[in-house]
Each structure stands twice: as structure tokens, then as C-alpha cells.
Amino acid sequence: MSELFDLAVAFASQPVPGEGRVAIVTNSGGPGIMATDAVESKHLQMARFKKETITALHGHLPAEANIYNPVDVLGDAGPDRYRFALASVLADENVDSVVVLVCPTAVTRPLETARAMIEMHQVQPDKPMLAAFMGGAKLAEGTRLLTQSGVPCFTFPEPAITSISGLVDYARLRTRPASPEIFHFNDVDRKTVQSIFTRVKKDNRLVLLGSEAAKVAAAYGIHAAHTVLATQPEEAAAKAETIGYPVVLKVASPKILHKTDLGGVKMGLDTPDKVIAGFIEIMENVHRYMPQAAVYGIEVQKMMPKGIELIIGMSRDVQFGPLIAFGLGGIYVNLIKDVSFRLAHRLTKQEIKDMIAETKAFTLLRGYRGEKPADINAIVEVIGRVASLATDFPEMAEMDINPLFAYNSGVCALDLKITIE
């Protein structure tokens, strides 16, 4: 909430910067380093001054001053030294915005320093200037004057850097193409999805069975492992013969979300006898550990080759609508928490590529330590299809594909969970 209001102040009073090159002027080295760390953490750049700027600073600042970015005008700096440093830095074409730090010393003159900052900001009004007066009551009158004059002033450097980051992000958004490339899928089957949702609601359920979720995915062109529902051991064996061995068995119950925790999954079954035995064992485990759970049968799924495990998820926010998540899947979801997010509405191909590139999974997908790269275009398309499904059906509350196996060519969804309202 505090960041929201800091951004509001910055947007209300400052121009939009050209790029993300930040200059820092300070009278204390420690806060200057803190600000530099914040610049790097927010994916901004420390401005590299032109030779003329460095020469001017070298000629007018004390010999002990740091003339490179961050510029340290030293603890005995008065308003005139700040004024000169700011004039030089703001005039540099390699600088897009400036953060001014003031710490209290015996000779600090907060009111006059604030006036010098305001004067320089008026000379270069097209470059954002933000300040951090780190002295509480000792610097309060300078803080008050800056605020009244439209120069945002904070207690510490980090909020100032975060605000500049928001301005820069907005500047980059404004330069995007006017008509970005948005996915439009003409091969989706909305009627099938609607009929599945209607049937689930009539059954007084909110969670789809795995076999139902697989049909929803297929209706929207999302490749999923072949999954069918069986209610008897012999039926499971017959369907396994049709699908082709090896197969995986999973308990089908809307009340059981973590199936492996209670022995509700059997993998690598390659004969009818093993399928029958696995069916019976799963049922016994469920009745032992969750006797109250309603069980609709056992899902028989084609066992797919191993790939890079990913997760693609969707949750619906009350105000902003469906939110799409992407990251490493399987056991790594909670262990590494490597997930990026975007709003599904009008999600573009470039935004999808950006959200993939933000994650550690991207390193694996590009080919790590000699491995062949995964089919990133297929992953991008699946995310686009999930976003399309979520926007087409407002009654969808949540969706998880975990894991989605990514191969050198293509992808395959193994475990799908869909919840409706």
C-alpha cells in the first residue's frame, strides 16, 4: 500500500523518463551505496557520465569527493556544492533521472539545499528528480519545501528508486506497438466445455475430475495425456489395453487433491494384471485414509516420456479477472517458488515470452549443460490457450496444469485441476 501511494506521488509530480539510467547525488557514501544496490535490484542502470561531466565535477568538487556515479559531494557540502553537482549531472544526456540524498551533518542546511534542488529541477523539468532526506526532524523544513514544490521526498533511498522504476516501466509500456500480437484461436470447442461445466454443476460439484479436465483442455487445443475414467478393475485393464502401456492410475475424487499422499497413484503399470492389482490397492488406500471421500472411480492415463516439468496456472481475482502463472512444476513449485504472473485479459505473445524469460525455468528451457532446448513456442501457445479459456468462461475459478512436460518438440499436460464457481 505504501508503494502504491509513493508511485501516485511520483506520477502526479514527475515527468516520464526516457530510459532507466539513474544518477545519484549524496553527501554520505553509505546511503549512496544503498541507493546503488536498489537501482540494480529494480533492473535500472547506474548512469555512466560523459567525459565532460566527469571533468566538470573533478574541477569543482573537493579532491576527496567521488565524481563517478554515485556522486559523493561529502558531508560538509552546502547548497552551492549540491547545486553545481546537480547542474552537471542533469545536463548529461546519459542521465534520465536523479535521486538526491541528504544526511544531517553539523553544516547541513536543509532549506537552502532544497531550494537549490528545486532550482535545478526547474532548469531540467523533463528529467525526474526525487529525494531522500534521511534526517527526520532535523531536515523536516527541507522535506516540507520539496513536497510543496512537487519534488517527492522520502525518508530512505529505496522508495525513491522504486518510484523511478515505476515511471520507467510505464515509459516502456508506452513504447509498445499500438496493436500488439494477441492470440486468437479458431479451433476451440466452446460447446464441449460448456456442457462439461453444466454437467459438473448438476452433480453439485465445483472440482472437475481429471478425465473431465483433460476433455476441457483438448477442447481448447491443449495437448494432454490420454485420460479415461474406469469404475471397475477389469474396465480399467480393458481401457489400458486401448490406450497402450505403460499407464498411470489415479484416484478420481474432487475431495482428494494430493493423491500421492495417500497412495492414490500407481505409475508404470504395463500389464492387465498390474492394472487390476493397482486399481484394488488404490481403492483400499483411499477407504483406509479418507473413507468419507466420494470416489468416482480410477483414472487410467497414458504414461508419457519424461520432460522438463512446468506449471501453468490460473486464478481469478475478483477485481482484475483471471491471472496466469508460469514456472517450474512438479515438486519444485513450493520448493523453489519460481513463478511469474500476468493478467489473462488481452495477453500478448510478447508478454507471454517475457513471463517465461523471468523465471529460472527459462535457463532449462533454452538448453542447460548441453541439453537440447525445449519447444518454447509450444509453451507460449499453451499459455495463450489457457488465457483464452479463462476469459471465455468466467465461471472458471482456478486451473492448474502441473506438471506440463516440455519436450524438444511439443508439450504434454499430465495433471490438470479445474475448479468452477
Which CATH number does the domain housing residue 101 bear? Answer: 3.40.50.261
Question: Are 189 and 322 contained in the same domain?
Answer: yes
pLDDT for position 336: 66
Domain count, the chain: 3
H-assigned helices in 260-372: 272-289, 332-336, 349-357, 361-365
Collapsing DSSP to helix, strand or coil, 174 comes out as: helix
331 CB contacts (<8 Å, ≥6 apart)? none
Given 284, 303, 322, the domain boundary residue is 303
Residue 178, pLDDT > 80, answer: no
Question: Are 328 and 349 contained in the same domain?
Answer: yes
Grid cell locating 55: 571533468
* Dihedral angle computed from the Cα positions of residues 183, 400, 223 and 410, in that order, rounded to the nearest 10 degrees: 80
Question: Are 314 and 297 contained in the same domain?
Answer: no
Question: Are 362 and 279 contained in the same domain?
Answer: no
pTM: 0.73
Tell me phi and psi for residue 340, to 5 degrees: -120, 160
pLDDT for position 259: 84
Question: Are 157 and 282 contained in the same domain?
Answer: no
Question: Are 379 and 266 contained in the same domain?
Answer: no
For the chain, percent of residues with pLDDT exceeding 90: 81
Give the CATH number, domain containing residue 327. 3.30.470.20
pLDDT for position 369: 77
- Look up the domain containing 295 and give its range: 226-303
Question: Are 284 and 311 contained in the same domain?
Answer: no
Given 276, 303, 330, the domain boundary residue is 303
239 with 230: CB under 8 angstroms?
yes
pLDDT for position 181: 79
What is the C-alpha separation between 343 and 110, in angstroms, rounded? 44
pLDDT for position 330: 73
What is the C-alpha separation between 302 and 299, in angstroms, rounded? 10
pLDDT for position 255: 84
What is the C-alpha separation between 208 and 205, in angstroms, rounded? 7
pLDDT in tens, 141-166: 999 999 999 999 999 999 999 999 99
Question: Are 359 and 390 contained in the same domain?
Answer: yes
Question: Are 288 and 371 contained in the same domain?
Answer: no
Distances from the Cα of 404 to the Cα of 94, 194, 378, 412, angstroms: 45, 24, 11, 6
pLDDT for position 260: 84
Mean pLDDT (the chain, rounded):
92
Given 246, 280, 303, the domain boundary residue is 303
CA-wise closest residue to 250 among 224, 273, 227: 227
Grid cell locating 412: 504434454
Residue for grid cell 544496490: 37
pLDDT, mean of residues 30-59: 95
pLDDT for position 331: 65
For the chain, percent of residues with pLDDT exceeding 70: 98
Give the CATH number, domain containing residue 268. 3.30.1490.20
Q: Which residue has the higher pLDDT, 313 or 369?
A: 313
Question: Are 52 and 131 contained in the same domain?
Answer: yes
pLDDT in tens, 377-418: 999 999 999 999 999 999 999 999 999 999 999 999 999 999
Question: Are 200 and 281 contained in the same domain?
Answer: no
Question: Are 150 and 265 contained in the same domain?
Answer: no
